[in-house]
């Protein structure tokens, strides 16, 4: 089986700061990879490098057998939640069709082939009923389905999903994960799914890619979610506690992954609690 993504001795920098250094790994076609790590560890920057939007300062990023490049139609991308998806009178159909001709959030004129593609994407995510409703009348989970439909336009082979669970309640989180996993199986695509917390992804992902301290560790949950590996990636003493099928990453008695959900200012555990928007790590 060929690899969907290959990194070789990659260094990625942002605003003069090394985000990831000497990173190398392979992700096979068809894998579902959970991407975890503290705020600022480089989850968004890594996805932008795979998209060809951030050039490595050293090493090589290869996607589906070729060097990463901008505008690769084989990649579907769901960026972190942005305001355009949460407001306005734009219908679900118009929102999804706005990417067909490369335009975003306009009211594009879409031909028959484009309309068929929009219908296919809506059907794949079970959102045909949302086509004629306005975004402003939808729940967060419904809007997330439309964002996923957008990412599926063009029948990509690789899906990059950047924090798609942010601001969703546990039920909608579980629905999004199950939907993505069923799409992965049905379409035979590769998925990178970044998240603040591992637990919702348990049982769905094949492997976990954990970033921290400029490094990356890729492997099964049992291989990576250990005190020695995570202590190295956090740069501080980490304890991993398993309880009733859940995993808690603890530092000094605090649940590190749970803390990051609150997005408080400050630098707990050496990392600022901020969103990883485009342009941040």
3-state SS string for the chain: CCEEEEEEEEEEEECCEEEEEEEEEEEECCCEEEEECCCCCCHHHHHHHHCCCCCCCEEEEEECCEECCCCCCCEEEECCCCHHHCCCCCEHHHHHHCCCCCCCCCCCCCCHHHHHHHHHHHHHCCCHHHCCCEHHHCCHHHHHHHHHHHHHCCCCCEEEECCCCCCCCHHHHHHHHHHHHHHHHHHCCEEEEECCCCHHHCCCCCEEEEEECCEEEEECHHHHCCHHHHHHHHCCCCEEEEECCEEEEEECCEEHHHHHCCCCCCCHHHCCCCCCCECEC
pLDDT score, position 253: 78
Same domain, 179 and 151: no
Same domain, 191 and 253: yes
Q: Which domain holds residue 277?
A: 31-58+69-74+171-281
Residue 63 lies in a domain: no
For the chain, the domain total comes to 2
The CATH number of the domain holding residue 248 is: 3.40.50
Give the predicted TM-score (pTM) of the model: 0.87
Q: Which of 101, 127, 155 is at the close of a domain?
A: 155
pLDDT score, position 271: 29
Residue 149 lies in a domain: yes
Same domain, 144 and 268: no
Identify the band that residue 265 occupies on the pLDDT scale cut at 50, 70 and 90: very low
Residue 4 has pLDDT above 50, yes or no: yes
Q: Which of 91, 124, 155 is at the close of a domain?
A: 155
């Amino acid at each position: 089986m060929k690899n969907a993504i290959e990194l070789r001795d990659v260094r990625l920098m942002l605003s003069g700061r090394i985000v990831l250094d000497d990173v190398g790994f392979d992700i096979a076609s068809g894998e579902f990879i959970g991407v975890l790590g503290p705020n600022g560890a480089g989850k968004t920057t890594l996805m932008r490098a795979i998209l060809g939007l951030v050039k490595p300062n050293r090493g090589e990023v290869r996607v589906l057998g070729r060097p990463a490049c901008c505008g690769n139609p084989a990649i579907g991308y769901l960026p972190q939640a942005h305001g355009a998806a949460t407001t306005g009178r734009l219908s679900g159909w118009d929102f999804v069709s706005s990417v067909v001709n490369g335009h975003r959030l306009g009211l594009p004129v879409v031909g028959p082939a484009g309309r068929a593609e929009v219908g296919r994407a809506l059907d794949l995510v079970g959102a045909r009923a949302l086509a004629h409703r306005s975004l402003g009348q939808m729940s967060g989970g419904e809007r997330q389905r439309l964002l996923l439909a957008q990412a599926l336009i063009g029948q990509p082979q690789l899906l990059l999903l950047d924090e798609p669970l942010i601001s969703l309640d546990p039920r909608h989180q579980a629905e999004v994960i199950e939907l993505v996993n069923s799409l992965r199986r049905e379409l035979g695509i590769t998925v990178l799914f970044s998240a603040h917390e591992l637990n919702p992804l348990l049982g769905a992902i094949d492997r976990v890619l954990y970033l921290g301290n400029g490094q990356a560790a890729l492997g099964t949950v049992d291989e990576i979610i250990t005190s020695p590996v995570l202590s190295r990636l956090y740069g501080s003493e980490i304890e991993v506690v398993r309880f009733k099928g859940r995993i808690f990453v603890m530092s000094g008695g605090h649940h590190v992954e749970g803390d990051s959900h609150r997005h408080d200012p400050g630098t707990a555990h050496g990392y600022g609690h901020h969103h990883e928007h485009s342009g941040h790590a």
